[in-house]
């Protein structure tokens, strides 16, 4: 892996779409969530004005922008409100893509997760390390203060499902199939792109497959994921900020 400062205009010659993971890339990691009985309080994260400006500038330069997140669509729409006319949102770890008001569903997890939610509720509600279920449509996301064996044991008994722990929550997904990689492959079809046309940046374990599908993968945390380039995780600036600055500074098109 090379550091970002070695990225050149040549590396970007074929790039048409830039795919951003959200948490830890465009906004700091960490979710404020609290659940008491049937009341869930979940803070919407805000994308800084500076990043919105950078995204607009990339669009102006001719790049397609795809957001690939484990978050739900409602949250991504709120976060990216200002750039929605030209940004596609691939949500819940590749399960579906929203683009200009149209929905493209990539995966149907219904039969896998039919009873899961009730089982998990039983296993975690009232436990001291449980924080809350984040509202989702196609995956189940359980926020916890730390890893909870109750979650892992419950999911282990379910056929075909797996847990991905990201340091603050478990995403529960259909093994192998329900991934950000699937989401990216489908998004590439929507926009008629090849692998070599895609740059993707991610920072967490659920981004590894995403980065593998991209011609130009960029790691925002090289202790967790591998890319052709990496962004040093230090200082005040977010990885996406540094990457966008770099791309916007290069003569490419």
Whole-number minimum distance, CB 206 to Mg ion, in Å? 7
Which of 11, 16, 24, 163 lies at the binding interface for Mg ion (CB under 5 A)? Answer: 24
Q: Phi and psi at residue 164, in whole multiples of 5°? A: -120, 115
Whole-number minimum distance, CB 62 to Mg ion, in Å? 26
Query: CA 129 from chain center: how many Å?
Result: 24
Decide if residue 21 touches Mg ion (CB under 5 A): yes
Q: Which two tokens stand for residue 216?
A: 């130009």
Q: Total number of residues binding Mg ion (CB under 5 A)?
A: 5
DSSP reduced 3-state for 206: helix
- Applying CB under 5 A, the span of 19-27, 48-56, 183-191, 230-238 interacting with Mg ion comes to 19-27
DSSP 78-106: HHTGGGGGGEEEEETTTTEEEETTEEEE-
Which of 23, 92, 171, 221 lies at the binding interface for Mg ion (CB under 5 A)? Answer: 23
Pick between residue 141 and residue 154 the one whose CB is nearest to Mg ion: 141
**Looking at the chain, how many residues does it have?**
253
User: What residue spans of the chain are helical by DSSP H?
Assistant: 49-60, 73-79, 110-113, 116-124, 149-156, 180-190, 208-213, 239-249
Pick between residue 123 and residue 198 the one whose CB is nearest to Mg ion: 198
Whole-number minimum distance, CB 167 to Mg ion, in Å? 10
Pick between residue 92 and residue 158 the one whose CB is nearest to Mg ion: 92
User: Which residues 6+ apart lie within 8 Å of 129 measured at CB?
Assistant: 144, 145, 146, 148
Q: How many Å apart are CA 51 and CA 57, to the nearest integer? A: 10
Pick between residue 29 and residue 186 the one whose CB is nearest to Mg ion: 29
Decide if residue 204 touches Mg ion (CB under 5 A): yes
Whole-number minimum distance, CB 68 to Mg ion, in Å? 9
- Residue 237 region, left (φ>0) first, then alpha (ψ -120 to 50), else beta? beta
Whole-number minimum distance, CB 251 to Mg ion, in Å? 30
Pick between residue 23 and residue 171 the one whose CB is nearest to Mg ion: 23
Decide if residue 70 touches Mg ion (CB under 5 A): no
DSSP reduced 3-state for 187: helix
The answer to whether 142 touches 166, Cβ cutoff 8 Å, is no
- Applying CB under 5 A, the span of 16-24, 35-43, 76-84, 177-185 interacting with Mg ion comes to 16-24
Whole-number minimum distance, CB 134 to Mg ion, in Å? 14
Decide if residue 69 touches Mg ion (CB under 5 A): no
Which of 92, 171, 203, 209 lies at the binding interface for Mg ion (CB under 5 A)? Answer: 203
Q: Which residues of the chain form contacts with Mg ion (CB under 5 A)?
A: 21, 23-24, 203-204
């Amino acid at each position: 892996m090379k550091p970002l400062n070695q990225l050149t205009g040549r590396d970007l010659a074929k790039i048409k779409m830039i795919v951003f993971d959200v948490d830890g890339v465009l906004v700091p990691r960490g979710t404020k969530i609290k659940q008491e009985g049937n009341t869930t309080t979940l803070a919407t994260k805000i994308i800084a004005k500076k990043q919105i400006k950078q995204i607009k500038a990339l669009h102006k330069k001719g790049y397609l922008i795809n957001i690939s997140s484990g978050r739900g669509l409602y949250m991504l729409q709120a976060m990216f409100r200002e750039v929605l006319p030209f940004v596609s949102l691939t949500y819940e770890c590749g399960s579906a893509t929203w683009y200009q008001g149209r929905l493209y569903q990539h995966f149907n997890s219904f039969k896998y997760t039919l009873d899961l939610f009730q089982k998990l509720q039983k296993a975690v509600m009232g436990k001291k390390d449980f924080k809350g279920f984040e509202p989702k449509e196609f995956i189940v996301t359980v926020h916890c203060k730390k890893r909870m064996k109750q979650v892992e044991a419950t999911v282990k008994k379910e056929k075909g499902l797996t847990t991905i722990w990201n340091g603050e929550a478990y995403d529960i997904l259909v093994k192998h199939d329900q991934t950000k990689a699937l989401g990216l492959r489908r998004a590439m079809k929507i926009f008629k792109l090849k692998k070599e046309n895609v740059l993707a940046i991610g920072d967490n374990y659920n981004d590894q497959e995403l980065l593998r599908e991209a011609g130009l993968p960029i790691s925002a945390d090289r202790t967790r994921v591998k890319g052709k380039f990496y962004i040093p995780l230090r200082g005040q600036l977010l990885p996406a900020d540094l990457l966008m600055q770099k791309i916007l500074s290069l003569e490419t098109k």
